[in-house]
Amino acid sequence: MPTTSNLNMPSNRSPSNLKPPTLTQGLAGWFLPNAAPHNAYIELDAMLAGLNTSLNVDTHASNVYSCAVTDKLYPLNNRSTDKGMVAIIGHPQWKSTHLANIAAQTSHSAALAVAYGEDSNNFLNQLGGSFAFMIIDTVNNTVLAGVDRLCHFPLYYAQPKTSQTKDGLIFGSSASTVLSHSSIERRIQPQGIYDFIYFHMVPSPVSIYQGLSKLPAGHYLKYSSGHLEIHNYWQPHFSESSNKSFRAMSKELRPQLKSAVSRAVTDYTTTGAFLSGGLDSSSVTGMLSELSEGQARAYSIGFAAEGYDEMAYARISAKKFGVKLNEYYVTPDDVVEALPDIATSYDEPFGNSSALPAYFCAKLAAEDGIKCLLAGDGGDEIFAGNERYAKQDIFEAYHKIPAALRSHFIEPLTQALPKEIALAAKAKSYIDQANVPLPDRLQSYNFLNRHRPEEIFSSDFLAQINTASPAALQQQIYQRPPDASTLNRMLYLDWQFTLADNDLRKVSHMCSVAGVEVTYPMLDDELLAFACQIPSQWKIKGKNLRHFYKKALHNWLPDETINKKKQGFGLPFGVWMQSHQPLQEMAYDNLLKLKKRQWLNSGFIDELIDLHRNGHAAYYGELIWVLTVLELWLDARFDAP
């Protein structure tokens, strides 16, 4: 009978038989100064297959180091490749006119080589925009690789531990790229499974594979003489006071937005916009319309399910800005047909259910001749638009009551009240949540906090993981910004978990699969810096989320858009599954397969199905989705138990 020891078994399936994720841009390389002789071109070809890109790739191979990039390689010393090599992908922006001119005349990689040569310790101060980079410096026996402030492009890395390789570093834009090198084994990491079920994705720096890590946003790695260091090179500078009035700063927002959209577009004739009808997609679409040479195009997804369809709001915004709106309604049959391919297309298991509608939206745009889509992701995390931000003020207010009064009077009295009294139950729930410190409180409704780990997982599985790890990771990131308000700490936390590891991975990958590029104007460096200067008390006023943003764009955005509740491209999977038999069959079949892996208690899976059928369909349907995606992903890469 199989046991959880299967977690530690390598896949019997050859990486060459697995379809790697589609990449619109990517880089890969290794630095193995003490490796036994090997065929560099064979290794490089394997990693190029892992990149899985249709773009032309620039490559260099030697016995000490090899690398590849979908842009241009540039020698660290422009007269010799023996000194090392430099590469960068994405849409980098140079603060120095000198470096910007080099990038325009030669390449961004050439500009990076010059910046590194001029100041090897501070060259990142000259670099902005969206990017991932590598610098292989053979003279100093050093490799540097990093990602931008919000990690538009992921970067995985591993240190091989084999008898043929004493030390070295292997890195690439996807897990598949790194795993394609013969020095790396493909083994599941138990903590990665637990973290995936906790977060519905695997957060940086963890990965689903043993020995494989990925860089968090705003970080770079330095590998030198066998020693690996990870550095956080960028921190936001939040301001709680302004030398400008609310009105003066409000007048600056529209020009800032317009400039951000302008920087995100290279060809208006083949650029469109996601349009959900919310604040951010409507803002980006409106600015695209103002800047476009002709009629701008937007793309929206609808659902024939009560409480999920926002098409009416998308139509309002499209009419307001004179945009041609292209619509598609996702059906339960679409989910049944597309989910297996979408779930297995990701490099790591990815459980955000809105990936599927994002795919259909991008596919609709690609079929309409669009080459690049503008996404509105990021506005809620920068300008404070998530309900949980305002909700925390209510809980934080409890701690303004003297501690003695709380502990000796309020809490004993609340505990003594009969549970049958509705008001008493609400008071107890409020106090219980208020007594959980931030940022742990933000996970109050997490499945793994509503159900004890011992209830969900087998004892053998739990023996292999640290259940406190997710909370510790959140706490570390939450505390990182110096002198930040509670609100700004929550925003920064979401920049890593909600944006870098979730929404950007969701949208970017689905656009890649559909065959279009995507850019994120709301995450523009200058717009981000502007948002950091807005005092917390302006961002949220009482329960009014995005107070500053809404006031600043009043009379430009439709009133309906400003006053609507946040929704987005959420998928009604749990609701549809109640009555759509093919969805049920797909989900139940994969839950049964997951049972056989013996990581989860079989009794909990049975309970989960019952809770979905007879309890909260949307809430527990989300967990069924997460587990279904996990099994689909595992089944494609690892032998069945």
Residue 4 confidence class, pLDDT cut points 50, 70, 90: very low
What whole-number distance in Å separates Cα of residue 510 and Cα of residue 518? 10
Say how many C-beta atoms besides its own lie within 10 A of residue 170's C-beta.
Answer: 27
pLDDT in tens, 251-266: 999 999 999 999 999 9
pLDDT > 60? residue 573: yes
Structure tokens at 179: 């795993």
Q: Quickly state the pLDDT bin for 280 (edges 50, 70, 90).
A: very high
Q: Is 237 left (phi over 0), alpha (psi -120 to 50) or beta?
A: beta
* Residue 109: C-alpha distances to residues 22, 44, 157, 256, 263 (Å): 23, 20, 20, 28, 20
Please report, rounded to a whole number, the percentage of residues in the chain having pLDDT higher than 90. Answer: 75
pLDDT value at 422 more than 80: no
- The predicted pLDDT at position 192 comes to 96
Three-state SS sequence of 119-157:
CCCCHHHHEEEEEEEEEEECCCCEEEEEECCCCCCCCEE
Residues with Cβ within 8 Å of residue 408, at least 6 apart in sequence:
none
Would the pLDDT of 17 be above 60?
no
The per-residue pLDDT of the chain, averaged, comes to: 91
Beta carbons within 10 angstroms of residue 374's beta carbon: 25
Q: Which domains does the chain have, with CATH numbers?
A: 4-232 (3.60.20.10), 573-637 (no CATH)
The tens digit of pLDDT for each residue in 381-407 reads: 999 999 999 999 899 889 899 999 988
Q: What is the pLDDT of residue 289?
A: 97
CB-facing half-sphere around the CA of 141: CA atoms within 13 A = 9
Are 282 and 274 within 8 A, CB to CB?
no
Determine the pLDDT at residue 15: 40
Is the pLDDT score of 628 beyond 60?
yes
DSSP annotation of 566: P
Q: Is the pLDDT of residue 113 over 80?
A: yes
The per-residue pLDDT for 128 is: 97
Residue 34: predicted pLDDT: 77
pLDDT reading at 629 higher than 60: yes
Which pLDDT value is given to residue 80? Answer: 66
User: How far is residue 605's CA from residue 62's CA, in Å, rounded to a whole number?
Assistant: 51
pLDDT at 294: 87
| Dihedral sign computed on CA atoms, order 7, 12, 13, 15 | positive
- pLDDT value at position 427? 86
pLDDT of res. 1? 30
3-state percent helix, strand, coil for the chain, nearest multiple of 5: 50, 15, 35
Given a cut of 70, whether residue 8 has pLDDT beyond it is: no
- HEC states along 210-227? CCCEECCCCEEEEEECCE
Q: How confident is the model at residue 63 (pLDDT cuts 50, 70, 90)?
A: confident
Judge whether residue 521 has pLDDT over 60. yes
pLDDT at 21: 73
Q: Average pLDDT for residues 323-343, to the nearest whole number?
A: 96
Radius of gyration of the CA atoms of the chain, in A: 25
pLDDT value of residue 613: 87
Q: Are 384 and 391 in contact (CB under 8 A)?
A: no
- Examine the pLDDT at 75 and tell me if it is beyond 90: yes
How high is the pLDDT of residue 428? 87
Summarised one tens digit per residue, pLDDT across range 460-488 is 999 999 999 999 999 999 999 989 999 99
* Per-residue model confidence (pLDDT) at position 9: 46
Q: What is the pLDDT of residue 51?
A: 86
pTM value is 0.94
Least Cα distance to 636 among 18, 50, 212 occurs for: 18
Over residues 579-596, the mean pLDDT reads 94
Average pLDDT, stretch 353-379? 96
**What span, in angstroms and rounded, lies between the C-alpha atoms of 280 and 553?**
11
Rounded CA-CA distance 59/67 in Å is 6
Categorize the per-residue pLDDT at 87 as very low, low, confident or very high, splitting at 50, 70 and 90: very high
Give CA–CA dist 15/27, Å, rounded: 18
pLDDT value at residue 337:
96
Q: What is the pLDDT of residue 387?
A: 92
Does position 163 have pLDDT exceeding 60, yes or no?
Answer: no
For residues 627 and 408, the model is more confident at: 627
At residue 415, does pLDDT exceed 60?
A: yes
**What residue has token string 């841009």?**
25
Residue 297: helix, strand or coil by DSSP?
Answer: strand
Token code pair at residue 47: 């990693």
Decide if pLDDT at 336 tops 50.
yes
pLDDT above 70 as % of the chain = 94
DSSP code for 521: G
Region 214-222 average pLDDT: 98
Cβ pair 283, 254 in contact under 8 A = no
Report the first-to-last Cα separation within the chain, whole angstroms: 9
- Find out whether 297 and 369 touch, Cβ atoms under 8 Å: no
Q: What is the pLDDT of residue 429?
A: 87
Evaluate if residue 135 carries a pLDDT over 60: yes
